[in-house]
Amino acid sequence: MESPFLFGQVVTGDDFTNRQIEKSTVKSTLLSGNHIILISPRRYGKSSLIKGIFHEIQNTKYQTITVDLTASRSENLFLESFARQVLNANSNKTFWKKMSRILKNIVPTFSMSSGDFGEVATLSFNWQEKKRTIEEILELPNLIAKTSNKHQIIAIDEFQNIEKFEDPQGLQLQMRAIWQHHTNVSYCLYGSKRHMMEQIFTRDSSAFYNFGQVVQLQKIHEKYLVPFISKKFNLTKKHIDEGLALRIVKMMRNHPEYVQFFCHLIWTSATRKIQPKQLKSGLKKLMEATSVHFLDLYDKLNNTQVKVIKAILKGEQQLTSQYTLQTYQLGTSANVVKALEALRKEDFIEKKQKNYELINPAFEFWFRFKILQDDIFEIE
């Protein structure tokens, strides 16, 4: 019997939990011709949300396109990938006849005989005329929307990676200058580096400031997660009390990915009825499964950052007070401020009201277990 809990992948349908408010907001905004900026930590379900929306709206009136910047290490690679995805999503014989007459700096090569527009084998880009080629690529969605009479909805994943390019500000200025005039295209730009995404879209000096509606994905409330967990266990003839389901949610602090992962680990050792001992064995499996990755994350932290995390997990609220500086040997308050900024930039921590907390609940358990030597397996 297969586990009913899916993790580490894009999920849809019954495997996707709630997000009805966010789904309605994103969907209605895109269909109205406006743009969406979707921001959250990693593994909060951004890609699953967009995939589900695209599945619903894909019809003769709308053309949905997804571009992933994860593998794009340069401006040219991104622009070429963008052009290919936009062109191929709209591809048909009539379309390519029109495009071959219109395009000047993007040259399609066809796999069929001369004069017949069949499958496109390659696209060639004239980078000797770089400025014109970039403009042609960025204009493509609106050009295609007008010629095909289909509103283009384009999602670009890991958009913050654009900051790694040689001239990120110059490219963003070009994109904004052209895209702001696209009346037949909606853009959904999203990424998992929250600090970088916020800098790109919320600073008034940024080219993309006020480009679209910013939607911050939050954790999923237990009133949705608890029934979801119970239903999934029941589907495989296993039962979990509501109290234990709630404890799972609380342990994983409502994190969508880790709730599913933790439930999967519990499910693998459970029989008919889930007992507290299964939560304990599931937590041990979680520590084993994530140990190598978390050790790698830990090794990237400097000594001050480690000490700041220790202080946070010990419940210290005044991190720059003399007491905290002396107790944790942090040196000066400037050291703490610098460490907090670095930890926030790399999405290790986030501020909740007056306190900081670690974003990744599993990493927190690992840190408590391996570094603080806490007994994390006391589960009654």
pLDDT > 70: percent of the chain:
96
Task: Confirm whether 8 is domain-assigned.
Answer: no
- Would you say the pTM of this structure is higher than 0.95? no
**Per-residue pLDDT at 77:** 94
Task: Confirm whether 291 is domain-assigned.
Answer: no
Confidence label for 121 from pLDDT (cuts 50, 70 and 90): low
Confidence label for 49 from pLDDT (cuts 50, 70 and 90): very high
Q: How far apart are CA 44 and CA 254, in angstroms?
A: 10
Residue 161 near residue 67, CB atoms below 8 Å: no
| Mean pLDDT of the 243-254 span | 96
| Residues 265-287: tens digit of each pLDDT | 999 988 889 999 999 999 999 99
Last residue of a domain, one of 196, 216, 236: 216
Instruction: State the first-to-last Cα distance of the chain, in angstroms, to the nearest integer.
Output: 28
Whether residue 201 is found in the same domain as residue 313: no
Q: Which of 116-120, 200-204, 279-283 has the lowest mean pLDDT?
A: 116-120
Task: Confirm whether 206 is domain-assigned.
Answer: yes
Residue 339 near residue 305, CB atoms below 8 Å: yes
Return the bridge partners of 187, or none: 154
Cβ neighbours for 30, distance < 8 A, ≥ 6 positions apart: 36, 53, 57, 153, 186, 188
Whether residue 204 is found in the same domain as residue 71: yes
3-state helix, strand, coil in the chain (%, to 5): 55, 15, 35
**pLDDT at residue 81 greater than cutoff 70:** yes
| Residues 310-324: tens digit of each pLDDT | 999 999 999 999 999
Q: How far apart are CA 304 and CA 310, in angstroms?
A: 10
**Per-residue pLDDT at 114:** 44
Whether residue 201 is found in the same domain as residue 319: no
CA 139 to chain CA mean position, Å: 26
Whether residue 33 is found in the same domain as residue 180: yes
Task: Confirm whether 137 is domain-assigned.
Answer: yes
- Matching residue, tokens 């069949």: 118
Whether residue 211 is found in the same domain as residue 319: no
Whether residue 42 is found in the same domain as residue 174: yes
Whether residue 201 is found in the same domain as residue 320: no
Whether residue 28 is found in the same domain as residue 140: yes
Containing structural domain, residue 357: 298-380
Q: How far apart are CA 245 and CA 112, in angstroms?
A: 58
Whether residue 63 is found in the same domain as residue 154: yes
**pLDDT at residue 217 greater than cutoff 80:** yes
| Residues 37-47: tens digit of each pLDDT | 999 888 888 99
Task: Confirm whether 59 is domain-assigned.
Answer: yes
| Residues 130-143: tens digit of each pLDDT | 999 999 999 999 99
Whether residue 159 is found in the same domain as residue 63: yes
Overall number of domains in the chain: 2
Cα distances from 372 to residues 142, 241, 270, 297, 319, in angstroms, run: 55, 31, 30, 16, 18
Last residue of a domain, one of 193, 216, 239: 216
Give which of 349, 362, 360, 347 is closest to 262, Cα–Cα: 362
Whether residue 211 is found in the same domain as residue 321: no
Whether residue 309 is found in the same domain as residue 212: no
Backbone angles phi, psi at 68, to 5 degrees: -110, 120
Q: What is the CATH number of the domain that holds 144?
A: 3.40.50.300
| Residues 53-70: tens digit of each pLDDT | 998 887 778 999 999 999
Residue 248 near residue 263, CB atoms below 8 Å: yes
Task: Confirm whether 174 is domain-assigned.
Answer: yes
Q: Rounded mean pLDDT of the chain? A: 91
Return the bridge partners of 352, or none: 355
- Matching residue, tokens 């495989």: 236
Last residue of a domain, one of 187, 216, 245: 216
Q: How far apart are CA 44 and CA 97, in angstroms?
A: 42
Task: Confirm whether 4 is domain-assigned.
Answer: no
Q: β-pairing, 349-352 with 355-358?
A: antiparallel
**H/E element holding 350?**
strand 349-352
| Residues 133-176: tens digit of each pLDDT | 999 999 999 999 998 899 999 999 999 999 999 999 999 999 99
Cα distances from 158 to residues 69, 165, 198, in angstroms, run: 5, 13, 13
Does the CA dihedral 312-316-322-328 come out positive or negative? negative
Q: How far apart are CA 277 and CA 271, in angstroms?
A: 12
CA angle 372, 373, 378 (to 5 degrees): 120
Q: β-pairing, 349-352 with 185-191?
A: unpaired
Task: Confirm whether 373 is domain-assigned.
Answer: yes
